[in-house]
Every structure is written in structure tokens, then in C-alpha cells.
Amino acid sequence: MAYLRTGYAIVIYSGVCCHCRARIVHFCNTYPCYAMSICLFEDFSISTLLPLTHVNPDFDLRSGIFTLRERIGRCFPDDALQLYTRLGLVEVMRERSGLPVNEELDADLFISGSTILLPELVEAIRDNRGENAVFAHEGVFLAACVRDTAVREKLYHWLKTSLLREELVHGPNHDIDLMSFGVPIVEVETRAFRFPWDLLSNNTALLEADAAFYRLGTVESEASIASSAELVHSERMYVAAEVCIGAGAILDATDG
């Protein structure tokens, strides 16, 4: 099958004639397929994550190896990404990220900037992509897959009038009436960052999840490692090409 990011997918069947061995190609039906685009937005946690969010969006705070914005790029590498931030950060984020900011670009996936994006939620999103579904934990909005234009318009309206209008003084996400979106609610175990210490308490789980994007046990040949340096349990490490480990250093991965 040939898959196109926009337009149509053409299903092609090819085979070989059992008598003359000539190649046979059948062009079958075409099916519509859709560009995939993610809207990553700041949410109500920007007020409770202060002072970290004074000059940074919540999705650019680091826990684990990556920020949420970086993690989304790893989990959904083929998707276009757009950002929604409070008004004071629009120009900063346009310059910093090079991405569209506060524009309506027909996203089919919306992700809250404080979401702790663990594999369970990633899998649930992939299973529901192309449908209408809101993912939540105990009433807290985490993400939404969108198929219908009406649902997409409701989400963009929510971003423009509820989330961003009040800047840093609005209430928590659980005040949202999730049923108002008119789509199925998928309850997940994944949570959201609410306070600065949540970045620390979830660091281990996210480190373990993020490690899947690296070849553990690999020491790149370009890495500079002193002969007296010691790597304990190097099978649990990934040493990148630009790393420099000095004389006498000990890297111990016994417990992590």
C-alpha cells in the first residue's frame, strides 16, 4: 500500500502469472487519508508550576531525558506540530521553536502541555487516532483525538477563550466539563504535572520510558573516554559521540 500524508492512499497488489511469470499489477480502490497534525498547548498548570513557567511554557519543562515537546517529536516523528501559548510567549516561542504558534491548523491531536506522556497514553492515542476521543485522568484533560470539524472547532475555541485569556491566574484543569466536547472519554492512568516537585517525582518513570529511544549498551566510537575512567554496568548506558569523560570519573548505573 502506498500511504500519502494528504490526499489519497492507493492500494496496489502485485503478483506473478503462474504460467508465463509475467508481473501482474492491480490498482485497487483509493481511500482518503489525512494529514496528521498535533496541537500542543499550555494548560492551567502554568499557574501552579510557577516560578518555572514565568518565562517558559509548561511543555518545555524537563522531566526525564526530554521536555514534553521533545518527547512528542520522538513518539510522533511524522506529525506536524503547532503550539498554543499564553499571549506573552507567542513571539518568543515562534523564534525559539520555528513552529506555528497560536494558529488554527486543523490539528487531529491535541495534547495538554502538562501531560506526563508515558507509553500507556501514547498507545491509547495511537489506537484512537482518526476517531473522536478525550483522554483524561480523574477529570483532568490530557489529550484528545479529533475526527470531526465541530469537535476541532470546540477545542480551538476553548484554547482561545478559556485557557489563554486569563494568562497566569486561572484555575485547575479539573474545572473543565469534559462532557461538553460531546465525544467519548477514555480514562487513563497517566497524570499531569501540577507542581514543580512533580517534575522530580516522575523523573525516574520518564527516564525509563525515554531510554527506549536510545541503544543502551552503546558507546559511540567518537566519544572521548579517559583510560582511567570506569563505566559500571555500561550495558545500561548510552554514551553519545560528543561525550567527554575525564580521568578518574566513575559512571555507575547499578541502580538505574
> Per-residue pLDDT tens for 33-72?
445 899 999 988 888 899 999 889 999 999 999 999 999 9
- Regarding whether 180 and 69 lie in a shared domain, the answer is yes
Query: Cell 513557567 belongs to which residue?
Result: 53
- Regarding whether 116 and 22 lie in a shared domain, the answer is no
User: How confident is residue 7, by pLDDT bands cut at 50, 70 and 90?
Assistant: very low
- Regarding whether 237 and 155 lie in a shared domain, the answer is no
pLDDT at 11 over 60: no
pLDDT at 3: 32
- Regarding whether 101 and 5 lie in a shared domain, the answer is no
> Per-residue pLDDT tens for 203-250?
999 998 998 898 888 888 788 888 888 888 888 888 888 899 988 899
- Regarding whether 203 and 229 lie in a shared domain, the answer is no
Question: Which structural domain range is residue 77 located in?
Answer: 37-211
Work out how many domains the chain is built from and give that number: 3
Reported residue count of the chain is 256
pLDDT at 28: 40
User: In sequence order, which residues have a C-beta less than 8 Å from that of residue 223 and are 6 or more positions away?
Assistant: 239, 240, 241, 242, 243, 244, 245
- Regarding whether 115 and 191 lie in a shared domain, the answer is yes
- Regarding whether 7 and 62 lie in a shared domain, the answer is no
pLDDT at 26 over 60: no
Stretch 112-121: mean pLDDT: 94
- Regarding whether 158 and 133 lie in a shared domain, the answer is yes
pLDDT at 98: 94
CATH number of the domain within which 67 lies: 3.90.550.10
pLDDT at 175: 54
- Regarding whether 174 and 98 lie in a shared domain, the answer is yes
Mean pLDDT, the chain, integer? 81
Per DSSP, what are the bridge partners of residue 92? none
Terminal-to-terminal C-alpha distance of the chain? 42
- Regarding whether 204 and 120 lie in a shared domain, the answer is yes
| Sequential DSSP letters for 170-207 | ---GGGS-GGGG-S-EEE-S--B--SHHHHHHTHHHHH
Rounded to whole angstroms, how far apart are CA atoms 71 and 76? Answer: 8
